[in-house]
Structure 1
Amino acid sequence: MAEVAGRLTDRVGLGVLTRVVTRDLVDEVLVETCRREKRRRLLPARVVVYFVLAMTLFFDDAYEEVMRKLVDGLRFLRSWDEDWQVPTSPALCKARARLGEEPLRELYRRVAVPLAGAGTSGAWLAGRRVMAVDGVQMDVPDTPGNDEAFGRGTSHQGLDAPYPKVKVVGLAECGTHAIIDAEIGAVTDDERELARELLAAFDPGMLVIADRGFFSHEFWREAAATRADLLWRVQSGLKLHVVHQLPDGSYLSRLMTDIERQRIRRHRARGLDTMPEGVAVRVIEYEITNRDSDTPGPIRLVTTILDPEQASAAELAAAYHQRWEFETSLAEIETRQRGSYRVLRSHSPAMVRQEIWGLLTTHYAIRELMYHAADLEGCDPLRLSFIRTLRVAR
């Protein structure tokens, strides 16, 4: 191939996904993570990055077939280098190991930002960007390394699960399904501990929704300190006394630890004036009569939005159920992009994490494409088909 045309490996790309994952960005990340080569290789680091992204799009295909799809279109551009052959699977495995997980992790964190504009349907409440925190578990190959790093958990029958499992907790934009930050851990890791690593992505102007599994007094206070507004479900047994009833049916209360409650009781027993303890919250309680639930009773939410004129109890209750939009995002990765009941490819913990960062990056790139396509047509991005867009990307 003539030198003016450039090397084949300089031309490798991912079609529409290079809109987000540009060659220049990949090169910047490789330099920052010290993965840029000092000598030419059959598989340069940039090509391996695109290969990892491609294998998360073509989950059913073997390594060599993924690489063949990645470069086959170049034949029609008359830019195929006859001296360059599709590498073997062992060579591709070694190239992945040489690259490591850091470039894919950094690439994801560089590209994944909120997408919704001011007019995006379902993306805003009272001027706040509606976000959600949730987690998912994925099966990984049954190897000693994966078993030791991630654990297995238990099946519904109480037996050890057939495969080790990795846990991913993420922060997503409800109006676009874009997952903008994530943390990877073992199946035994507490979701709150993983979610704590996401607090750096909480910004003022966000309304962050979470299910009751994420609530604790300590974590609530840490999350509220980011100045993002919160709307979390809490356990029905949590003690929340009515401090002030509000006209929309919600009420103001204070979140107090047991130690704070004991301090108040001691002060009152001594006849001392008590200063307000705990953290001020607003409580919304409501019933959904036609739901199947293993926990009967009202749904109870707490929020940092104390003024009902900013967001009514009905609006906040409706917003909470947008948390399921994140469930849909996770399902897109689990059952559409990866495939139902599929085990990830990677046989070592580092490669598992590399693969997941690749999955998250390609999912975000597809969602970014869908958002801009919907924006051009003036429609809701959630009304577009993820699977059809995935086929376009493929």
Structure 2
Amino acid sequence: MTLRVQILKDKFNQSLGLPFKELLPESVIVQALDELKIRYKRRLFDPIVTLWAFLSQVLDNDKSCHNAVSKIIAYLAGQGVEIPSSDTSAYCQARARLPEKLLEKLFGKAAESLSEKVTAEYLWCGRDVKVIDGSSVSMPDTVENQSCYPQPKSQKAGCGFPIAKIGVIFSLATGAAVALVIDVLNIHDIKLARRLYQFLNPLDILLGDRAFCAYADMVTIKNLNCDAVFRKHQARTTSMRKGKIVGDCDKLVTWHKPKKCPQGLTESEFAALPLSLTVREIYYYIIIPGFRTERVSLITTLLDTTTYPTLKIVQLYYQRWQVELDLRHLKTTLGMDVLRCKTPSMVRKEIYIYLLAYNLLRSLMWSAGTTYGTPALRLSLQGTRHHFNNFIPEFLAASLTQCHQLYRTLLKVIVHKAVPDRPARNEPRVRKRRPKAYPLMTKPRNELRKQLQTA
């Protein structure tokens, strides 16, 4: 058993470990296990082997447990040792034994490790910018998932899927996910955001859309010694006559504390809010064809017009769209949109593994970009995943010296797959591909089967 485990660790370290050696080496995993005081038996699927296999599983196009176990068997087959059963039960049980806190901790360590690589040249006006947004993911329709993450009320029982809401903070410099919270679908984005503020570092700038632009939140962010740039909430009216003009389409305005305690705040939190807050309002017009919004009003706590000119803040908010691309990479490119696990605990673990794998790819893109002088955010994440997966067999067959040469080659080909910069690109919001003409499910499957039998 010990020999087989060591063989698997060597294989995973050779195939996955080298590209990600700086971000998630075995020593970091062992340290996290020790910090959480996790004890485990000596078995084939120990936490380290299981974690690497889980990561390999979500990075692959075929995300089945059978494919993951097949890789384990293939790694051991050529070593002259006893191969495990092709049944996936042992691997699935090992995944279930992985503590959720372990994956959460490793995700945090990976995000922190990548953030430490950001130098001053990649900052905005000398400040680190974080982008916040919310999204949702669906999962198998099981009783456990439905009880924890209920489907939308508009769907009939048995005709929908459980859906979880996620709130994520991304780094604007690296594109990596920095923090994550998971909750039910009907929770408001701002409630998720209030659980994410604890992950901000002093002097960070938080960038977000108008869902996060609330008086209490602006105060909270300032109390953390951070700043915010949000689009103005649609419920707030704009008055051109109020405020101190500090530039073209730029003024300082005073916000007053709400008269009633908003939902989501306790009475003590509401009482602690200051009576007023000075913010900066910037408004501009968009004349690009295809853009839905014609006028944009921004609210920011960056009051110094010399250090943070109007145009720079407008350009910064334009980059907020990057968070939409990051979420699309997670949900569409990596396939996190539809999860596979059948219990809430495993669903949360699967989400953390996806974000961990995403950060590992981002670290690879960062290494490639900084090594060969190409902006990391312009590199293709899908192309990076393709190259990485295709290089794995070569890593497994190579010596240590050859592995380092292969690694340099991998970085070079990743740089070749750059996404062109197409500013102000616009496309009509239509679909050319016709969907299949099947009706939507409006009754549970067992009722539909009975209809077929009686027809």
TM over 0.5: yes
What are the within-5 Å matches in structure 2 for residues 237-386 of structure 1? 237-239=235-237, 242-259=242-259, 277-290=275-288, 298-338=295-335, 343-386=338-381
Residue among 59, 62, 65 paired with 1:63: 65
**C-alpha deviations, 1:47-105, integer Å up to 9, x for none?**
11112212211252421311333563566xx6x35224155212222111122322111
Distance 2:210 2:256 in 1: 17
Corresponding residue for residue 213 of structure 2: 215
Structure 2: which 5+ runs fail to align? 261-273, 390-455
Q: Against the structure 1 CA distance between its residues 71 and 251, is the aligned structure 2 distance closer, same or farther, given a 3 Å change threshold?
A: farther
Corresponding residue for residue 151 of structure 2: 152
* Secondary structure of 1:254's aligned partner: strand
Q: Retained in 2: the 8 A contact 1:64–1:86?
A: no
Give the counterpart letter for 1:136 in structure 2.
S
Provide the aligned C-alpha RMSD in A: 2.5
Give the counterpart letter for 1:195 in structure 2.
A
Distance 2:131 2:244 in 1: 28
Q: Against the structure 1 CA distance between its residues 92 and 59, is the aligned structure 2 distance closer, same or farther, given a 3 Å change threshold?
A: farther
Q: Retained in 1: the 8 A contact 2:73–2:84?
A: no
Q: Against the structure 1 CA distance between its residues 307 and 25, is the aligned structure 2 distance closer, same or farther, given a 3 Å change threshold?
A: same
Worse overlay, 199-208 or 134-143 = 199-208
Aligned pair count reads 365
1:288 deviates by: 1.2
1:134 deviates by: 0.7
Residue 186 (structure 2) pairs with residue 183 (structure 1): no
Q: Retained in 2: the 8 A contact 1:236–1:300?
A: no
Distance 2:246 2:358 in 1: 42
TM-score, with normalisation over the residues of structure 1? 0.85
Distance 2:351 2:61 in 1: 12
Corresponding residue for residue 34 of structure 1: 37
**C-alpha deviations, 1:110-149, integer Å up to 9, x for none?**
11122432223xxx32211222101121111111111111
Distance 2:2 2:251 in 1: 74
Q: Retained in 1: the 8 A contact 2:5–2:49?
A: no
**C-alpha deviations, 1:314-370, integer Å up to 9, x for none?**
21111112111111111111111117xx52111000000000000000100110110
**C-alpha deviations, 1:205-235, integer Å up to 9, x for none?**
3221011112222122112211111101122
Corresponding residue for residue 194 of structure 1: 192
Give the counterpart letter for 1:20 in structure 2.
L
* Secondary structure of 1:82's aligned partner: coil
* Secondary structure of 2:283's aligned partner: strand
Distance 1:233 1:20 in 2: 34
Q: Retained in 1: the 8 A contact 2:8–2:72?
A: no
Q: Retained in 2: the 8 A contact 1:151–1:188?
A: no
Q: Against the structure 1 CA distance between its residues 310 and 326, is the aligned structure 2 distance closer, same or farther, given a 3 Å change threshold?
A: same
Structure 1: which 5+ runs fail to align? 261-275
Corresponding residue for residue 126 of structure 2: 127
Corresponding residue for residue 225 of structure 1: 223
Corresponding residue for residue 99 of structure 2: 100
Give the counterpart letter for 2:56 in structure 1.
A
1:259 deviates by: 2.3
Q: Against the structure 1 CA distance between its residues 163 and 73, is the aligned structure 2 distance closer, same or farther, given a 3 Å change threshold?
A: same
Q: Retained in 1: the 8 A contact 2:164–2:184?
A: yes
Q: Retained in 1: the 8 A contact 2:134–2:167?
A: yes
Distance 2:319 2:146 in 1: 35
Aligned sequence identity (%): 25
1:310 deviates by: 1.1
Q: Against the structure 1 CA distance between its residues 35 and 332, is the aligned structure 2 distance closer, same or farther, given a 3 Å change threshold?
A: same
Distance 2:131 2:161 in 1: 28
Q: Retained in 1: the 8 A contact 2:210–2:234?
A: no
Q: Against the structure 1 CA distance between its residues 70 and 333, is the aligned structure 2 distance closer, same or farther, given a 3 Å change threshold?
A: farther
